[in-house]
Homo-oligomer: A and B are copies of this chain.
Amino acid sequence: MDITNSIPDFKMIVRPEFVKKAEELKPELSTVRVNPVRLVQIVPHGEDFTAEPAEDAAALSRKSFGRGDSVCLDFGGHQVGYVSFRLSSTGSPQDAPAYIRIKLGEIPYEMGRNFAGYRGNISRSWLQEEYLHIDVLPAVVRLPRRYAFRYLELYVIDTSPKYKLTISDVVCESVTSADPGRVLPLKTADPELALIDRISCKTMESCMQLVFEDGPKRDRRLWMGDLRLQALTNYHTFRNYDLVKRCLYLFAGLTQNEGRVGACLFLEPKLQVDDTALFDFSLMFVSCLYDYYEATGDKETLRELFPTAERQIELSMAELDEGGVVRDKDTWWCFLDWGKGLNKQAGAQAILIYALKQARQMAEWLEDEEKAARYSRQAELATEGAMSRLWDAETGFFVSGKKGQFSWASQVWFVLANVFDREKNQQLLKRLIREDPPVKMATPYMYHYFAEALMENGLIDIALETIRSYWGGMAREGADTFYEVYDPADRFASPYGDRLINSFCHAWSGTPAYFIRKYLV
């Protein structure tokens, strides 16, 4: 199955007044100049690599580089920004262009792998590598693109027998719209939680640009599902409420056919919604608006954007069959998670119920009892459909799709949808952990909702254990930022056929700070 979809006869519906509001909230990016802190050696360990400190950064000025030489610089932490450096020649006058390759990576694995061996199924254009000819030296080389990286390798493809290269003034102008000064110090004596919180905040910071990007390496854009989690974490860390508001107005101002909130938005070459539609991501607009009002009490925005949320409910309700259950599809129609073979029907049903309940609450906040009652009824209808068709009383689990698939994702979402009371939710979660169905969770995005389900149902210890083992696992591997995909059992896991293309700083993975700060400290 392709992991893309395209709406037939796609068109974008623009609400200029919303777009205008969003653009007025466009943040200023702050810039910090960061220099490499050391030279590193990329060392293979089986199929993976580590970056071993080799020399201090000052050693660079004493080196010269000819054909086949290279150097790997470590910027000491994750950067999102613009790189420049000064390249000079030493020896005889430069009698041929310099031809160099610049490679940038978030983790050592990217530096160790030869990009030519990339075998993934999404565009290799995301691999951060540039080939440059420099005709005249000395030159200040300013790479025109923005990169997400910690490591930068300069490899000399060729100079000439008569001269070599020297490199100096390597700098990254790192950019973000996050203000670290607004993050309250974390009061904990637990160093592991402090580390996880710090990595979490750094992940957020790197992803906070002109919008909440999903990943600054890839895809560098605003996805609705990612936004929802970023916004939640943001309320407990950087507290940039305007950036969330801006993103909500963008999604509401740029909808797809029938007013559907798209799965993601592009900022360039113009503000536009993608032609990708995902059932759950459209409904995440409802959740994100709900969270936003809860965090801010901004009733004007709630009032203005609630109709957009309602439209998502309406479109989703139209997907129910006569029995009140979301129609399953063979296409990539709903995201949920990257789990292999995961059937989306049950998760989608649960998310619909989850969103209906939030819609009901929003209607109440807006004092619209009629609507509140309607969303209550719809939630009941969908719950009844689920209980009659997706609930397997014998096993005590929800099943999904024609073949009755038993997955983690389905259970987690039904717990979050609160179709049961707290006690039954706890039982379901514990049963789930015990039974450990074969269709597992694959991403921090899904792990977030698992941890949320645990936290919300009072299983704080298990939730904490999950955070320590899952996100903590990345921290123990030396992560500077949390990864898009993390499978403790398979560090090479990738939904795209090659770990190289994974994003290693991914917004949906940055939520531990939310849990730590909301539930634990």
Contact = CB atoms under 8 A, between A and B. Distances in A.
B123 A219 contact: no
A126 interface: yes
A29 B124 CA distance: 40
B145 A125 contact: no
Contacts of A92: 6, 10, 274-276
A160 B275 contact: no
Contact of A133 (B130, B158, B266): B130
A464 to B, nearest CB: 37
A98 B94 CA distance: 32
Interface stretch (A134-142, A345-353, A437-445): A134-142
Q: Main SS of the interface on chain A? A: loop
A16 interface: no
A205 to B, nearest CB: 22
B125 A93 contact: no
Contact of A97 (B97, B125, B137, B162): B125
A157 interface: yes
Interface residues of A, number: 42
A96 B127 CA distance: 11
A93 B266 contact: yes
Interface in A172-195: none
A125 B157 CA distance: 8
Nearest to A91: B6
Interface string A156-171: 0111111000000000
Nearest to A135: B145
A217 to B, nearest CB: 11
Contacts of A6: 92, 162
A95 interface: yes
A274 B95 contact: yes
B125 A133 contact: yes
A99 interface: yes
B97 A135 contact: no
A135 B131 CA distance: 16
Contacts of A275: 92-93, 162
Contacts of A17: none
Contacts of A122: 96, 160-161
A118 B98 CA distance: 16
A295 B95 CA distance: 32
A46 interface: no
A255 to B, nearest CB: 14
A300 interface: no
A216 to B, nearest CB: 13
Given A145-B135, A268-B135, A272-B93, A4 B124 contact: no
Interface string A89-129: 00011111111000000000000000000000011111000
Contact of A2 (B131, B135, B161): B161
A234 to B, nearest CB: 25
A341 interface: no
Interface string A463-482: 00000000000000000000
A158 B125 contact: yes
A196 to B, nearest CB: 31
A135 B130 CA distance: 13
B158 A124 contact: yes
Contacts of A276: 92
Contacts of A93: 266, 272, 274-275
Interface in A428-478: none
B133 A145 contact: yes
A50 to B, nearest CB: 28
B136 A123 contact: no
Contact of A95 (B96, B130, B136, B219): B219
12 contacts: A4-B162, A6-B92, A96-B125, A96-B218, A123-B159, A124-B158, A125-B158, A130-B133, A135-B145, A135-B268, A136-B268, A162-B275
Interface of A: 2, 4, 6, 10, 67, 92-99, 122-126, 130-131, 133, 135-138, 145, 157-162, 218-219, 221, 266, 268-269, 272, 274-276
Given A96-B218, A131-B131, 9 more contacts: A6-B92, A92-B276, A95-B221, A95-B274, A97-B125, A122-B160, A123-B159, A125-B133, A136-B268
7 closest A-B pairs by beta carbon, nearest first, are A99-B125, A96-B123, A131-B131, A97-B125, A136-B268, A123-B160, A123-B158
